[in-house]
Structures are given as C-alpha cells and as structure tokens.
C-alpha cells in the first residue's frame, strides 16, 4: 500500500474526503501524516480524531530557509511518503521538496485551470473573479505540482455551472462538493500508475 502525506492549512474538508475514501476502501492508501503550517485548525482536529501523525511547521520558526526545507524533507522521508497531497495548503512548497518528489505532489484548485490560477487566486478570491467575469462555468482542477505555481500538468477537472443567483460562497460550496468526489478518485488512479513502473 502506498503512503500519502497530506498538507493542509484550513478546514481540511478535502483531507476528510481522503480519510473517508481510505476507510471505505475506495482509496487504497495509508495516510501516514498531516503537515500544517498553522496550529488550531480544523484539519488538525481531523487528524487527531483518526490518530494520523501531525507535523506543524512554519518557515518563520527557522533562522534559515534551508533548515526549514531540510526539516520538511526529513519528515517526509521518515514517513516514507510515496505521494504528497496538497489539500488547501496556503504556503509555497519549497523547490527542493518539489524536485525531490517530482511528479509525486498533487494539488486541488477551485477553478478550471489555467483560468484563475497563480498569484492571488486562492479561496473566495477565485470565485469572486469567476462571478465578476460572468463566466457561466467553473469547477475544480487536480494537477501535478511543478515549480511554477498552479501550472503543473492537469490530471482531471470537474465542471460546475455558475448560476445567475450565485454568490462567491454559494459557488465555492458547490465546487467543494465536486472536489470531495474527485480528489480521492484521482489519487487512487494516480497511485495505480506507480505500480506500472
């Protein structure tokens, strides 16, 4: 069974959907740890509930960025991570980690990338921009993380119709429902490709 490490900075509802999928057997993987840059967030409570090991780590605790990177790499190595899954992680993943886990880091983004990706496009800002542009369709994307923010190869997308009555929050909620369905499925499919090599 492959080992997954999840990174989250917030509520962790996607993290929960991944936990649920491992529990009901639709995702054949072991969540070996959760990494967060913040304490006191709901994602950590979820990890505690399921006895998933936690690392809270922030670059601000380190005098040198390099020491931070090394600590992250060491933890990933200790947990024997096969795949890193970003689930609402709001910090930049260091280049050294991206290079060490090339094609082994996935991210979910709440828009149809390449639209509304990159700097400033996170959380509710994304949905606000979609409504301002009067797009009639939005959705979510799962992509491989590369050193260029939100630009790695897209694995899968789910589309969601934008309603005239939509608020950014209402649209976000409908997209989140699709995220919860899509992410565990894509992770399972992606992990299966590891066995072929």
Q: Which residues are catalytic?
A: 109
> Three-state SS for 4?
strand
Q: Which is nearer to ligand GRF, 10 or 53 (CB)?
A: 10
User: Is 47 near ligand GRF (CB under 6 A)?
Assistant: no
Q: Which is nearer to ligand GRF, 13 or 146 (CB)?
A: 13
Shortest distance in whole angstroms from residue 2 CB to ligand GRF:
21
| Alpha-carbon gap, residue 153 to 39, rounded angstroms | 31
In the region spanning residues 75 to 104, those forming contacts with ligand GRF, defined by CB under 6 A, are 87-88
**Contacts with ligand GRF, 132-171, as mask; x by CB under 6 A:** --------x-------------------------------
| Alpha-carbon gap, residue 182 to 142, rounded angstroms | 8
- Give the range of 4-12, 60-68, 91-99, 187-195 binding ligand GRF by CB under 6 A: 4-12
Q: What is the DSSP letter of 101?
A: T
Q: Are 65 and 59 in contact (CB under 8 A)?
A: yes
| Alpha-carbon gap, residue 48 to 55, rounded angstroms | 11
Cα 46 to its chain centre, rounded Å, is 15
Among 18, 32, 72, 176, binds ligand GRF (CB under 6 A): 176
Q: Which is nearer to ligand GRF, 98 or 108 (CB)?
A: 108
Among 104, 109, 127, 143, binds ligand GRF (CB under 6 A): 109
Among 33, 94, 110, 117, binds ligand GRF (CB under 6 A): 110
Q: Which is nearer to ligand GRF, 15 or 68 (CB)?
A: 15
Provide the token pair at 69. 């990177």
Provide the token pair at 59. 């670059």
> Three-state SS for 152?
coil
The full DSSP string for 47-80 is HHHTT--EEE--GGG-SSHHHHHHHHHHHHHHTT
Residues that bind ligand GRF (CB under 6 A): 8, 10-15, 87-88, 108-110, 140, 176, 179
């Amino acid at each position: 069974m492959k080992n997954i490490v999840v990174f989250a900075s917030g509520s962790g509802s996607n993290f929960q959907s991944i936990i649920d999928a491992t529990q009901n057997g639709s995702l054949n993987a072991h969540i070996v740890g959760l990494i967060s840059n913040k304490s006191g967030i709901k994602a950590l409570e979820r990890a505690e509930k399921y006895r998933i090991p936690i690392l809270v780590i922030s670059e601000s605790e380190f005098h040198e960025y390099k020491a931070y990177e090394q600590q992250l790499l060491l933890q990933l190595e200790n947990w024997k991570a096969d795949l890193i899954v970003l689930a609402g992680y709001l910090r930049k993943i260091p280049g050294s980690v991206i290079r060490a886990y090339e094609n082994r880091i996935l991210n979910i983004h709440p828009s149809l990338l390449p639209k509304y990706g990159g700097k400033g496009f996170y959380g509710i800002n994304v949905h606000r921009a979609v409504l301002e542009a009067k797009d009639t369709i939005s959705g979510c994307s799962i992509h491989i993380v590369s050193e260029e923010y939100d630009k790695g190869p897209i694995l899968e997308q789910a589309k969601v119709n934008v309603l005239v009555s939509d608020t950014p929050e209402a649209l976000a909620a409908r997209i989140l429902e699709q995220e919860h369905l899509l992410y565990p499925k894509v992770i399972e499919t992606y992990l299966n490709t590891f066995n072929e090599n």
